[in-house]
Structure 1
Amino acid sequence: MGADREGGARRTPRRAVAYAACGVVLLSGCASMPDDGELRGVDYTPRQDSQVRVFAVPPGDGAAPQDIVDGFLEALTSDDPHFETAKLYLTPEAAKSWDPEGSTTVLANGMKTDVDAAQNRDNASSYSVTLSGTQVGALDAQRSYRPAEGGYRQQIQLERNKKNGQWRITRPPQGVVIGQSDFQRNYMSANKYYFASNGIAGSPSRPMAVADPVYVRERVDPMTQMVRSVLEGPTVWLDQVVRTSFPTGVKLKDGVETLAPDEQNILTVPLNDSAARVGPAKCREMATQLLFTLQNLTSAVDQVELRAGGRQLCLLDEDVADTVAARGATERPGYLYFLDGRHRLVRMPARSEDKKALAVPGQFGEGLKELRSAAVSRREDRAAGVSLDGRRLYVGQLASDGTLGQPLLVSQGRTETDRLTAPSWDPAGNLWVADRDLRRPRLLMFDDAKGTPLEVETPGLDGRIDSVRVAGDGVRIALVVEKDGRQSLLVGRIERGDKPADPDERARVSVLELRSATPVLEEVTAMSWVGESRLVVVGTEQGGVQQMQYVQVDGSTPEAPVPAALTGVEEIAGTEDGGAPLVAHSEDGIVRMPTGEQWQKVVTEGSAPVYPG
């Protein structure tokens, strides 16, 4: 199996030996010495069965320098836990300094190897090959993914050992360099969990769990990788708004190389002595972080036991974990909401096959005000609605005696498209909305959906906000931002400043480090959270047609089937637990798609579908 590379004519497939019974594939790094300069490539790597493990073959005796380069690049795509075989292609000095865990560079359509024949003669003692390609993404030392654009070019240098005549690499590329198809085969996205530290709580007594996505190698003991990753702490982007319950210095106990659950699905995690003195409450939080992380990864873990100092610290199962921390993905909505043909708010049970929609209790369903958009609080006891002309924002109780009163906000935008976006609720009951007034575009937040709005600081925001969706963890916010006719989906981190000494002043709220979640889309029409670190997006690529896809908050594309095609989509709604049907407003009206099924028409006349949030 070859590395994911391109250029030149396709080469003869390399020797590969597959042992089906053991689930092993060996990569061989042996080929002929080129006699002139060329772009060389290796066959496309097909996706392997998840049970098949791929191991590289060490360099052959007397292997030519180009074969050493090819063998090294192929070894980077193997399931060798610590890249020990790849290091055999390096000189001892280079093997010591090369850090394959420090970074991973992902190239679209593989990489090219350019051999300069003028510099690489048969009798030379040194050799060089230039790697090139188009970069699409990268992992840092914390395994956090970031989209990347631009060309990649790096030179690999080799030398011939004077004593034994063997060629070895003296200057390898920084970290791991891998083609996109091999990256998708070898790596998987998984969430690790921490607790919100920015003032958001699931309840007065429970912190809010926050998913922190990272990539791990899929067939190289991902369970142990994820436990180590949790202990190392949150990724840099999320670190400012979350906390970990693991004390500083806590690691796996010396000598522990791999973790596995027992026959009762209990995973025992031995920790070093830095954890020996934690109390029961702190231990339950630590175990909750690990249980949420591992259950996101596998169904084989039901309980987590933490041990340190020769004793059990705590044993925790899912029921206890749910009392320790709240999660957006466990909050299952009771209803789906949308606007009917009269622009009134109606609802139907979220998971029922019944297509009958009833007016919500209170003025939003029974009153005279026509709405353009609405949002329902996560407790489903209040709603916010924007008037049909987009100018006024109202908030009211979902109760038969609920009243609306005066609007909470009035936009001064001159046209309907320059006024208020659809609102969004965070888990603390605060209400968010963007005013698109060209003279003063701004993002606003209402504490407890009351009083005077707080203008949210958005340093680095380049464009005007079209859409707002706060995540169920209250830590992240998704924004569709328009600039020069192009709509992009950006995800930012919500930071809350310290409470001022003056009781009449309010703490600052900022959305920081906005980053693209859809780098390949030119226009984003609609979006919704459908997981703790995943969104569903409707948009188009440059020169393309409208499509619907899932994206991760880090800008990567998860390995999941895309939703069935649907034309003329204007709005989309999903739930963070993924259990309720995906719902859309399309040219056919309100439609929904239960898991594993096709789109089904709900009503012909309707718009603005939303689940609570």
Structure 2
Amino acid sequence: MDADREGSGRRRPRRAVAYAACGVVLLAGCASMPDSGDLRGVDATPRQDIQVRVFAMPPQEDAEPLDIVQGFLEALTSDDPNYETARRYLTGNATKLWQPGLSTTVLDDGPGASPTPSGDRERKEDTSFTLTGTRVAVVDEQQSYAPASGSYQETVHLVHDKKTKQWRIDRLPQGVVMGKSDFQRNYVSVNKYYFASNTKAATTPQTVAVADPVYVRERVDPMTQVVRSLLSGPTHWLDPAVRTRFPTGTALKKGVSSLTPDDRNILTVPLNDKARNVSPDRCEAMATQLLFTLHNLTPAVDTVELQVRGKQLCSADESDADGVATRGSVEQPQFLYFVDGEHRLVRIPAAPKGSSAKAEPVPGVLGEGARDLRSVAVSRDEHLAAGVGLDGKALYVGSMVSGGSLREPMLVSTGKTDTDRLTTPSWDAEGDLWVADRNPAAPRLLLFDEGVGEPLKVETPGLDGRIKDLRVAADGVRIALVVEKGGKQSLFVGRIEREAKTGDAQRVSVRELRSTTPDLEEVTTMSWAGDSRLVVVGRERGGVQQTRYVQVDGSTPEGPPPAALTGVKEIAASEDDEMPLVAYSEDGIVRLPSGEQWQKVDAKGTAPVYPG
């Protein structure tokens, strides 16, 4: 997520912090709990180095109620694996009822705590505090992140124990709550991988792997957390479109509390008996899911070995896994494509070689200038190309082989203006072609099966507005849509569901659209930039244009945003993050090689795209 933007002038939380660096461990001294004051918030801890660990402090003797609330909230942001210290602020009954794993509520700043007004000022046995703040996001029981907004207000009730004569919390909201910067320090986003239910890559019989991002606690044995999360199944949003190869009920063997790779980078995963009788092929697919997932977390695992009752079921290394399933993030494109000053489809090598490269027309009719083009898309196998005419009316599809002839338009829009006609098209992993007709009289999302024939109208339940732009993910399971309504352009990600074909008919729908940039008032352009990441150009209300990365769940990934570039009109990225970011800006086509500044490619070029 973004670097910490802290609140101003609020009291720093007092905790014990351990710093581990260069093999030396330094323990910070413990500070006492505050002993005065009527209204305080739990400050979000400043963003720390990844090696910093924060340990909770137990309640002090004879601490006042506000100190108990404050100490409890601070303990929630520590690296205590099971919140044991936080539980020491609770009564015995509250400890039994409290379920911290149900949710994590993220606030813009740490929660404020103020006394709840009471009509009986003479009572000394109990008291209440109201926790307040502004919601940013919620991570649910499945560890799935979702942006949130509005005010947060929950009550914490305390009692004065007659035996111990200490204040303790006896009623509190379920889950945990913390400020945004504490969340950034405590949690890391990891892609779990499942297999697309009804999708195979058009160029290979392999199954397509789909990323399912979740947030796990970064310094609380994240490897074991993410393995447990993978075994428990996909998140609710993704579940209808993917499948797991693990049998229902598969879990870690009872008694296994932690997983660690050995000195050969082999991770042994002991499973319960639910996985005992799987076939070798299925076992290899299970190991592939684990290996893809763990590679997203750490480079320390080269091989995954599955065991049941102490006996090896199977193992898989990277070459085995790549033979089972394909991922967009490892499919390297050959070329970058764009429209040149003569409105032809041209290409240059995708990976920069030197400071400049001369664009050449692609083989086939779309590179010969038979039709003036304004936008294009190239199939993921780089064999077919689709182009929309200069006025936005007609969609053409042609082979990128010399000597072909241009067929009649696949689709013609009757929109009255060029902004009311066809969007830039997009190809999915199955070789199907997607495009939206923006005609206000009949707006629709269309799919051409393998890029030919009559278009299939895609159902879009819940879509509120008109599609301005679209990009299908390499997995063929998710689609990003820029939706325009009331002068505002918003980015949504929807789940693609394909029902089994009945004869020649098939129903395809895009469901459960999720907003990924709720803070942006205008989205100019976007592109997929990883298995679960997009690059977006837009602006906030009253702000200036900015380019940022965003996860499909609406969170902001770690790392810096792309280098600033003014006047961006279109942007293109590859799911393979080794490929440079490319944009059409005031300077024409420019690209951003890793570790360098933006470089001019073609002053007259427009509409850059990678395959997809």
TM-score normalised over the length of structure 2: 0.96
For 2:225, the aligned partner's letter is: Q
User: Aligned pair in 2 of structure 1 residues 5, 558: CA closer, same or farther (>3 Å)?
Assistant: closer
User: Aligned pair in 2 of structure 1 residues 42, 176: CA closer, same or farther (>3 Å)?
Assistant: closer
For 2:515, the aligned partner's letter is: S
How far 1:196 moved relative to its partner? Answer: 0.2
Pick from 419, 422, 425 the counterpart of residue 424 of structure 2.
422
Q: Which residue of 2 aligns with 1:398?
A: 400
How far 1:42 moved relative to its partner? Answer: 4.1
- Partners of 1:202 and 1:446 lie apart in 2 by 14
Q: Which residue of 1 aligns with 2:211?
A: 211
- Partners of 1:9 and 1:115 lie apart in 2 by 21
Contact 1:5 1:44 in 2 (8 A): no
- Partners of 1:608 and 1:140 lie apart in 2 by 39
How far 1:309 moved relative to its partner? Answer: 2.3
- Partners of 1:382 and 1:287 lie apart in 2 by 34
- Partners of 1:12 and 1:364 lie apart in 2 by 62
User: Aligned pair in 2 of structure 1 residues 468, 596: CA closer, same or farther (>3 Å)?
Assistant: same
Q: Which residue of 2 aligns with 1:436?
A: 438
Q: Which residue of 1 aligns with 2:147?
A: 147
For 1:397, the aligned partner's letter is: S
Q: Which residue of 1 aligns with 2:578?
A: 579
How far 1:18 moved relative to its partner? Answer: 4.3
Q: Aligned with 1:545: secondary structure?
A: coil
Contact 2:16 2:55 in 1 (8 A): no
- Partners of 1:524 and 1:98 lie apart in 2 by 41
Q: Deviations over 1:42-75 (max 9, x none)?
A: 4441122212221101111211111110110000
User: Aligned pair in 2 of structure 1 residues 413, 597: CA closer, same or farther (>3 Å)?
Assistant: same
Contact 2:7 2:109 in 1 (8 A): no
For 1:207, the aligned partner's letter is: T
Q: Aligned with 2:101: secondary structure?
A: coil
Q: Which residue of 2 aligns with 1:133?
A: 133
Contact 1:8 1:41 in 2 (8 A): no
- Partners of 1:218 and 1:6 lie apart in 2 by 21
User: Aligned pair in 2 of structure 1 residues 27, 556: CA closer, same or farther (>3 Å)?
Assistant: farther
Q: Which residue of 2 aligns with 1:309?
A: 309
Q: Aligned with 1:22: secondary structure?
A: strand
- Partners of 2:514 and 2:560 lie apart in 1 by 24
User: Aligned pair in 2 of structure 1 residues 203, 338: CA closer, same or farther (>3 Å)?
Assistant: closer
Q: Deviations over 1:536-578 (max 9, x none)?
A: 0000000000000000000111112001110110000000011
Pick from 361, 368, 376 the counterpart of residue 366 of structure 1.
368
What is the percent sequence identity of the aligned residues? Answer: 64
Q: Which residue of 2 aligns with 1:45?
A: 45
How far 1:404 moved relative to its partner? Answer: 1.7
Q: Deviations over 1:480-525 (max 9, x none)?
A: 000000000000000011322xx24x11100000010101100000
How far 1:30 moved relative to its partner? Answer: 1.7
- Map 1:110-509; keep pairs closer than 5 Å: 110-116=110-116, 124-201=124-201, 205-353=205-353, 354-500=356-502, 503-504=503-504, 506-509=505-508
User: Aligned pair in 2 of structure 1 residues 603, 225: CA closer, same or farther (>3 Å)?
Assistant: same
CA RMSD of aligned residues (A): 1.9
- Partners of 1:15 and 1:322 lie apart in 2 by 46
User: Aligned pair in 2 of structure 1 residues 41, 58: CA closer, same or farther (>3 Å)?
Assistant: same
- Partners of 2:280 and 2:103 lie apart in 1 by 37
- Partners of 1:146 and 1:599 lie apart in 2 by 33
Contact 1:16 1:28 in 2 (8 A): yes
| 1:611 is the counterpart of 2:606 | no
- Partners of 1:7 and 1:392 lie apart in 2 by 52
Q: Deviations over 1:321-373 (max 9, x none)?
A: 00011111111100000000111111000002342111111111113310010
How far 1:8 moved relative to its partner? Answer: 10
Contact 1:431 1:449 in 2 (8 A): yes
User: Aligned pair in 2 of structure 1 residues 105, 434: CA closer, same or farther (>3 Å)?
Assistant: same
Unaligned runs of 5+ residues in structure 2 are: none
- Partners of 1:26 and 1:82 lie apart in 2 by 23
Q: Aligned with 2:77: secondary structure?
A: coil
Contact 2:42 2:74 in 1 (8 A): no
Q: Aligned with 2:268: secondary structure?
A: strand
- Partners of 2:32 and 2:461 lie apart in 1 by 50
User: Aligned pair in 2 of structure 1 residues 129, 435: CA closer, same or farther (>3 Å)?
Assistant: same
How far 1:193 moved relative to its partner? Answer: 0.3
For 2:349, the aligned partner's letter is: P
Q: Which residue of 2 aligns with 1:514?
A: 513
Q: Aligned with 2:408: secondary structure?
A: coil
- Partners of 1:178 and 1:381 lie apart in 2 by 50
Contact 1:7 1:112 in 2 (8 A): no
Q: Deviations over 1:254-313 (max 9, x none)?
A: 111111111111001011111111111011000000000000111100000000022100
- Partners of 2:305 and 2:221 lie apart in 1 by 19
Q: Aligned residue pairs: how many?
A: 604
- Partners of 1:40 and 1:298 lie apart in 2 by 39
Contact 1:574 1:610 in 2 (8 A): yes
- Partners of 1:273 and 1:24 lie apart in 2 by 43
Q: Which residue of 2 aligns with 1:589?
A: 588
- Partners of 1:280 and 1:469 lie apart in 2 by 37
Q: Deviations over 1:18-37 (max 9, x none)?
A: 46533666876722144xxx
Q: Aligned with 2:74: secondary structure?
A: helix
Contact 1:157 1:170 in 2 (8 A): yes
